[in-house]
Amino acid sequence: MIRKLTLSALAVAALLTAGAARAQEAEAHIPDVPFSFDGPFGTYDQHQLQRGLQVYTEVCSTCHGLELVAFRTLGDRGGPNLPEDQVKAYAAAFSVNDLTSNPEYVEPATGNARKLVPSDHFPANNAMGAPDLSVMAKARAAFHGPYKLGINQLIHGIGGPQYIVALLTGFTGETKDLAGTTVYENKIFPGGWIRMPNTALSDGQVTFADGAPNDVKHEAEDVAAFLMWAAEPHMDARKQTGFVSVFLLIILTSLLYLTNKRIWAGVKGKKKQA
């Protein structure tokens, strides 16, 4: 009986492993993009986050919301770290593209959008049916599967930003009509076709004040880094806390070991003499 159960378990494990391998072979290859926040000691690049915020504002916010992120967090250390006056000006100038999804931002007297303040959140935007981007960098994964666990995920994480970069740069230029809707071929998106236009990002679409490269690849990397911060704004503080905790645990373990050795030194010495 035990032998049969063992053989059955091995057969099921083999089938699951083979199925996972076939699924991974079918998945599109997502290249690794080296971000500054990768690894246990990585941190956000403040200038890259500011450029990513600019890409989101000028391009992505037309269709996508960011409703879980408050404007005031743009001034947080470890994030874009904008000065307080810039945060106020940015919030006041931000356009609410979907008033239906944001009734709290409507002036009752005029029916128009009121000026936003730092305590407000980025508006939701459901008018185009596009997903909210608040946690997109954590909801998507590039590095997963049985053979890519462990040290790879410790160094790279789950690869959400890498997935976003690959998606934004994965258009082939081909289009087709699907039930009256134009869809665009994308070698990264599951199924190969996506409603987001292949012109979502283009070379030179955004001009950065610091003179950073503004081709599609760099624009995609910048906005992916910003979306990673939006999904996990306290990552730098969490890593710092983890490092301090591990360091203190090492010291505590060493002290406990030395204390134990000193307390029992006499007893162990007597055993050796006997």
How does pLDDT run along the chain (274 residues), one tens digit per residue?
555 445 454 444 444 444 443 343 345 788 889 999 988 889 999 999 999 999 999 999 999 999 999 999 999 999 999 999 999 999 999 999 999 999 999 998 899 999 999 999 999 999 889 999 999 999 988 776 545 555 666 666 778 999 999 999 999 999 999 888 999 999 999 999 999 998 889 999 999 999 999 999 999 999 999 999 999 999 998 888 888 999 999 999 999 999 998 888 777 666 555 5
Domain 17-261 has CATH 1.10.4080.10: no
Instruction: Please state, in angstroms and rounded to a whole number, the distance separating the CA atoms of residues 103 and 227.
Output: 25
Question: What are the backbone dihedrals phi and psi of residue 96, each rounded to the nearest 5 degrees, phi first?
Answer: -95, 105
* Residue with token string 């730098």: 236
Parse the chain into domains and list their residue ranges.
17-261
Report the C-alpha gap between 102 and 82 in whole angstroms: 25
Nearest Cα to Cα of residue 88 among 71, 105, 107: 71
3-state helix, strand, coil in the chain (%, to 5): 50, 5, 45
**pLDDT score, position 266:** 75
Q: Is the pTM of this model over 0.85?
A: no
Amino acid 149: pLDDT: 52
pLDDT at 17: 41
Provide the pLDDT for residue 152: 62
Give the β-pairing of 171-178 and 193-194.
unpaired
Residue bearing tokens 């599951």: 190
Q: Which two tokens mark 235?
A: 């990552």
What pLDDT shows up at residue 25?
A: 38
Rounded-to-integer distance, Cα 219 and Cα 54, Å? 10
pLDDT at position 264, please? Answer: 84
Contact 33, 100 (CB under 8 A): no
At 3 the pLDDT is 53
CA distance 134 to 121: 11
